[in-house]
Structure 1
């Protein structure tokens, strides 16, 4: 449960925030303190996550005590949820020397997003402008509308947008690798290890509209946008839009790649052995039942599916 660069994973940061609430804003018992020490020792990245969160908490010490204490006391009297505590931390940080930028290293934008989905969940939204927005598994977005423009920020994961062309305001989309603009676009955005996958099904989308090298992306194009802004046309083994209809539709996709894709839709660990990773998978699979997908793989390919637990599954040679 950690990122490839050695940084703590989002789940570890979430746990650290829970511990922050228990230890600093409650009166912890000796048992709670022992459990906290056990959590710290249970994974090498847990102390890193705790350091990030506690650094933000330390900034609160510079705020007027009456403000921080009275707000925290009111929050506890209302028995607020962890989401309320997170909003409180972000609010207090905004008044301290860290500023609103303190949200980013904590992963707070994703946690405080306007709309988000859990692993395996998909959600359809209807904007006040008549646009249709869909979030894929484990995704988060913010939406902001003004008199001048419509704006969507992709905070995590994958989103599709069918912009209402009858609204003359430009629709701006902010991502980690850059900004896009459209009025009538039907587009899909997915964060990946290389940056951002952009697929356009209808209308026109302008990539990097404020740049001297703005790129107009037409219907039918699928691009990989790298973190440095470089673009590359790509062809995929899967229909990138399939999930919007609740399916995973693939053609001659290597089993290793298919397993990685399927793992996005189920909690826990799903692994594929190297000796079967190059077997090819084709078909259309219903994402609502990932267990059935695994059973279909075992029946159609020379593989077996082994369950160490419900959340630890391995695919290997039969």
Structure 2
């Protein structure tokens, strides 16, 4: 039976559908690593829903390749014309993504992976959220952020498992898997963890100061205007806070000779869809101010200042390539 009429009509959780889409993009990208392929296999083995979502998606790819008559005429002609073109695989993936949304009845809303689904506070694609805690702490959560509160003998502690948060500190401690951050009273800082373009945890002190204790036990301090990136075992030398470190709070991405690949990775977090950057253009340097609330407009702006173009499929998939 065709995947357009699946034999197993079990409804799939929206987040599982979205995770399957993400893994499909990774596996079919043509540049996936062995570690990514193993991680995909591990994800499929985690639950029956994961495997069912994967089978529906891969089966739908086959249906589309074997049954172009089922596509709109214009879409079928495009596929036939581009049978040997490099972009054909991208177009097929776009049809597959659309087919899954139609076959399951789900729209793709957000990209949130387990265990962040169960966090006390989390944000969806393009969402920013402001919180005020009882301890007098003001927080702004960036898109795709997962934050938990923990009560310990020493008081309330926040745990950031994913994303980025602006902290206007009262009496609070914030931890990640790599260590603990203790802001001084009335300090203001940005803490990020596990971002696509950043390994480990980063702390940027905008005002005041903060003490950092690594998971292995070492401690050090940061003053206003300093930032540092660290994991559970090592830390980098403190550097000046980059320009526009908190611009995302106001819906902006400020780039100062930033690699295009990093710019695209950041815009991808705010866009309801998937944006890929071709490695051939990922190292191009970008300077300027870009809207994260209108990521597609920002992609178009980039094409005016760099020798690149954006290939779009159904408004969901986008691929940034050389012009």
TM-score, length-normalised on structure 2?
0.63
**CA spacing shift, 1:143–1:175, aligned 2, 3 Å:** same
Aligned residue in 2 for 1:175:
176
Note if contact 2:161-2:193 (Cα within 8 Å) is conserved in structure 1.
no
Matched residue count: 233
Q: CA deviation at 1:292?
A: 0.9
Distance, in Å, in 2 between the alignment partners of 1:142 and 1:310 is: 34
Picking from 243, 246, 257, the partner of 1:241 is 246
Q: Where does residue 104 of structure 2 map in the other structure?
A: none
- Indicate the residue corresponding to 1:137 in structure 2: 143
User: 1: CA distance between counterparts of 2:271 and 2:311?
Assistant: 16
Structure 1 residue 41: deviation in Å?
Answer: 6.9
2:205 aligned with 1:200: yes
Q: Identify the match of residue 266 of structure 2 among 239, 261, 266.
A: 261
Could you tell me which residue of structure 1 aligns to residue 164 of structure 2? 158
Q: Which residue of 1 aligns with 2:114?
A: 107
Q: In structure 2, what is the equivalent of residue 228 of structure 1? A: 233
**In structure 1, what is the Cα distance between the partners aligned to 2:135 and 2:41?**
35
| Residue 29 (structure 1) aligns with | none
Secondary structure, aligned partner of 1:7:
helix
Aligned to 1:316: 321
| Cα RMSD for the two superposed structures | 3.2
For residues 204-257 of structure 1, the C-alpha deviation after alignment (integer angstroms, 9 at most, x for no partner) is: 211118976321111111101123133333467763211122110111222222
**Range 254-263 or range 194-203, more displaced:** 254-263
Quick check: 2:225–2:240 contact (8 Å CA) kept in 1? no
In 1, Cα distance between equivalents of 2:276 and 2:219 = 40
Change (3 A) 1:212 1:196: closer
| Residue 14 of structure 2 corresponds to residue 7 of structure 1 | no
The 1:248–1:37 alpha-carbon spacing in structure 2 relative to 1, beyond 3 Å, is closer
Residues 188 and 262 (structure 1 numbering): CA distance in 2 closer, same or farther, change over 3 Å?
same
SS state at 2:261 partner = helix
Rate the CA distance shift 1:237–1:306 in 2: closer, same or farther, 3 A: farther
Is this contact kept in 1: 2:139–2:166, CA < 8 A? Answer: yes
Query: Alpha carbons of 1:37 and 1:177: their partners in 2 closer, same or farther (altered >3 Å)?
Result: closer
CA distance in 1, matches of 2:41, 2:127: 20
Measured at CA, do residues 158 and 8 of structure 1 come closer, stay the same or move farther in structure 2, by a change above 3 Å? farther
Matches within 5 A, 1:255-294: 255-294=260-299
- TM-score, normalised via structure 1 length: 0.64
Within 2, Cα distance between the matches of 1:269 and 1:8? 17
Q: Secondary structure at the match of 2:144?
A: coil
Provide the C-alpha distance between the structure 2 equivalents of 1:191 and 1:280, rounded to a whole number of angstroms: 24
CA deviation after TM superposition for structure 1 residue 141, in Å: 0.5
> In structure 2, do the counterparts of structure 1 residues 210 and 181 end up closer, same or farther at CA, with 3 Å as the change threshold?
farther
3-state SS of paired residue (1:239): coil
Which runs of 5 or more structure 1 residues have no equivalent in the other structure?
Answer: 21-35, 44-105, 165-169
**Relative contact order, higher structure (CA 8 A, sep 6+):** 2
